Amino acid sequence: MNRHMDKPIKLTEVCLRDGSHAVAHQFTENQVRDVVRGLDGAGVHYIEVSHGDGLGGSTVQYGKSLINEMKLIEAAVDECKNSKVAVLLIPGIGTMNELKQAHELGAQLVRVATHATEADVSAQHIHKARELGMEALGFLMMSHSVSVTTLIEQAKLMESYGAEAVYVTDSAGALLPNEVRERIKALRQSLQIEVGFHAHNNLSLAVANTITAIEEGATRIDGSVRCLGAGAGNTQTEVLAAVLDRMGIDIGIDLYKLMDVAEDIVGPLIPGSQEIRKGSLVLGYAGVYSSFLLHAERAGKRFNVDPRDILVELGKLKAVGGQEDMILDVAAELAKNDKVRA
């Protein structure tokens, strides 16, 4: 095992951010309070709270939130005794104003997320977060879609802007364990800062991939209780905690309490089971952004085309987060072609 022991493993729980996609951004304040209270009691290090697409994501294009995310952030901060509240910001969706507001409400960490080739758009947001005294981490989305060389170049940019860690973000749940190993190892060797990993479970590899990342020296990891997240969800936190315990790696989280939060608090919030079904499987297979699934299913109904065909086409087009408007265009084009063939 090639773990760097100078830094402890820190887990960010994403069920209230990535999980927002799975509930169509309809979390209530009481639900957020209940979940945060449970996670805080279990000793989770960071709890990420924002719209699924990050700060400022509550729009017609990405899906309107039931409750203003700032109110949810404030509620989360109010419930935390030990955990720190984190937020996600995608430049172009979230702005400096939202970042400042989240900080004023008590958020202590921000992950600035860009496509794996667009790290340069994160500079001002990382600078501003550091200036405000927040932890600022870089999040390279769709990391499966670029070469290892490109990933290193982009991660080094984020490091130069002041990021304290950079994540290999498997937004599509498309990476295989050997690909995770290669990417984490390369970043560990090329950066002076911490390396993180964020997985999706679309190919049923999230826990295995996260363990592989830890073996290669990743010290920032993500999980989601009950797998609540976009697509087939993320690395299931309580399962990961149990596996790490079996491996003799203590990350300071109470496994039984985590299991109880997953079963008793988060479980009842999930609209359907977070299993790998045909839609989420195609996300991993085609390498498509996990939050596209609900949009593709809606577009499939509207244009009477198979959502799988929409997702495969989006994979070929290398569509990235923020290009949700392409989903309707692709569906319309597929419907038109079906009519021509008929």
Catalytic residue among 21, 51, 144, 295: 21
Element (H, E) at 176: none
In the structure encoding, which two tokens stand for residue 336, read together? 């038109």
SS3 197: strand
Give the other-Cβ count within 10 Å of 132's Cβ: 17
- The answer to whether 264 is a known ligand-binding residue is no
Q: How far is CA 36 from CA 98, 201, 265, in A?
A: 21, 23, 10
- The answer to whether 45 is a known ligand-binding residue is no
Question: What residues contact 338, with CB distance under 8 A and at least 6 apart?
Answer: 305
21 part of the active site:
yes
- The answer to whether 289 is a known ligand-binding residue is yes
In the structure encoding, which two tokens stand for residue 44, read together? 């989770």
Sole residue written with tokens 């290892």: 148
Amino acid letter at 202? Answer: N
HSE-CB at 127 with a 13 A cutoff on CA atoms is: 8
Query: How far is Cα of residue 238 from the mean position of the Cα atoms in its chain?
Result: 17
- The answer to whether 18 is a known ligand-binding residue is yes
CB contact at 8 A, 11 and 245: no
- The answer to whether 127 is a known ligand-binding residue is no
CB contact at 8 A, 8 and 43: no
Sole residue written with tokens 């408007």: 325
Strands (DSSP E) contained in the chain are: 10-13, 46-48, 84-89, 109-115, 135-141, 165-169, 194-198, 220-223
Q: How far is CA 19 from CA 126, 128, 200, 284, 304, in A?
A: 24, 27, 11, 17, 28
In the structure encoding, which two tokens stand for residue 42, read together? 């279990």
Binding-site residue set for substrate: 17-18, 171, 198, 289
Cite the annotated binding site for Mn(2+) by residue number: 18, 198, 200
Binding-site sequence positions: 17-18, 171, 198, 200, 289
Q: Which residues are catalytic?
A: 21
